Amino acid sequence: MAYNEFGRKCIALVVDDTPETLGMVSAALEDSGITVLVATDGTSAIELTRRVTPDVILMDAMMPGMNGFETCRALKFGPQPVMTPIIFMTGLTEKKHLLEGLASGGVDYITKPVVVEELLARLSTHIVNSRLLQSARDALDTSGRSVLAFDMNGRILWGSQKANEFLKQTDPQLRDPAWQKWVAGCANKPVSAVPPFETSEHSFQYIGMTSSSEILIKPMRRMSLKKENVLAEAFELTPREAEVLYWLTLGKTNRDISAILGLSARTVNKHLEQIFQKMGIDNRTSAAVMADRVLNSL
């Protein structure tokens, strides 16, 4: 039963204008212990997600008015993007429709007539994966880290709470074609090979790419004071130690820092030992969090 497998009762939103499909899918989900919400058009689905956060959304591709692809784009890339996985259900089987569903933000595609066993198996996988991702995002929020994830077109996929608050101030700037070009240029490149994207007030640092091709970006406010000087003063560091700590906050590895500053790996390790001692911590994560707080408080 889905209820036992997921550990708590799940909520599924089923969006379809066909009563037969709504009834069949809803009954199958409810029999598996899943609470079902229904919407018969895209607009209603969007309004419903503003009130309730489902664990998964099953979306018919072909509906009158706003179709499923348009609804998915509005949910994933609109002003209040949702993190919920969206699975398409449709009788469309051509490759172009599959690609359109994935491009609009969907994670999977099930053809009609729906096979209940296949539907439940795919739901299970996507809900578990979604919850693992949400746990990771919650950890970022708890630690105060500011991280945004974008697709290769520069569209926001998700962000930590702190980053989303930051995004409200910068969103218009991220519609610039130069931004989209920069994000696309980050893909599959070493972190150290990508310079920051900077505006008059903000700086965005590429910090890596996930296995699902999400491009991770760290947003920061640009400061008139040199960041290394701020860190040196805050933690009583030497200029070189402050440089090492600064690059650490940008997600650089010891090897990256060694290459950037022209130091040996052993020297970088020695600097980190001194930094940890002066900051009163014993690991890279704690150092990065403390330094982030200082830099973001200015």
Q: Cis check for the bond before 113: say yes or no (omega within 30 of 0).
A: yes
pTM of the model: 0.49
| 244 and 121 both lie in a single domain | no
Render pLDDT for 173-208 as a digit per residue (tens, 0 to 9): 667 788 888 988 888 788 778 888 887 777 888 888
Q: Is the pLDDT score of 2 beyond 50?
A: no
- Residue range 67-75: mean pLDDT, rounded: 90
| 132 and 156 both lie in a single domain | no
Render pLDDT for 14-64 as a digit per residue (tens, 0 to 9): 999 888 888 888 888 888 888 899 999 999 999 999 888 888 899 988 888
Q: Is the pLDDT score of 128 beyond 60?
A: yes
| 215 and 233 both lie in a single domain | no
Q: Which of 43-47, 126-130, 231-235 has the lowest mean pLDDT?
A: 126-130
Q: Which domain holds residue 261?
A: 227-296
Residue 112 three-state SS? coil
Q: Is the pLDDT score of 1 beyond 50?
A: no
For 41-69, what is the HEC assignment? CHHHHHHHHHHCCCCEEEEECCCCCCCHH
| 161 and 102 both lie in a single domain | no
**Which residue, of 171, 206, 221, is where some domain finishes?**
221
DSSP 8-class letter at 231: H
CATH code for position 130: 3.40.50.2300
| 76 and 183 both lie in a single domain | no
| 213 and 252 both lie in a single domain | no
| 125 and 160 both lie in a single domain | no
Give the rounded percent of residues in the chain with a pLDDT score beyond 90. Answer: 19
| 198 and 259 both lie in a single domain | no
**Which residue, of 119, 137, 155, is where some domain finishes?**
137
- Find all residues with CB under 8 Å of 256, minimum gap 6, and list them: 190, 191, 192, 247
Distance between CA 266 and CA 257 in Å, rounded?
11
* Domain count across the chain: 3
Q: Is the pLDDT score of 143 beyond 60?
A: no
User: What is the per-residue pLDDT for 6?
Assistant: 40
pLDDT band at 3 (very low <50, low <70, confident <90, very high): very low
Dihedral sign for Cα 152, 156, 161, 163, please. Answer: positive
| 192 and 124 both lie in a single domain | no
- Residue range 88-93: mean pLDDT, rounded: 77
**Which residue, of 137, 169, 184, is where some domain finishes?**
137
CATH code for position 160: 3.40.1840
Distances (CA, A) of 240 to 2, 80, 81, 85, 139: 55, 42, 41, 45, 30
Distance between CA 105 and CA 155 in Å, rounded?
10
- pLDDT, the chain, mean: 81
CATH code for position 285: 1.10.10.10
User: What is the per-residue pLDDT for 44?
Assistant: 92
Distance between CA 117 and CA 288 in Å, rounded?
46
- Residue range 230-257: mean pLDDT, rounded: 90
Q: Are strands 35-39 and 56-60 parallel, antiparallel or unpaired?
A: unpaired
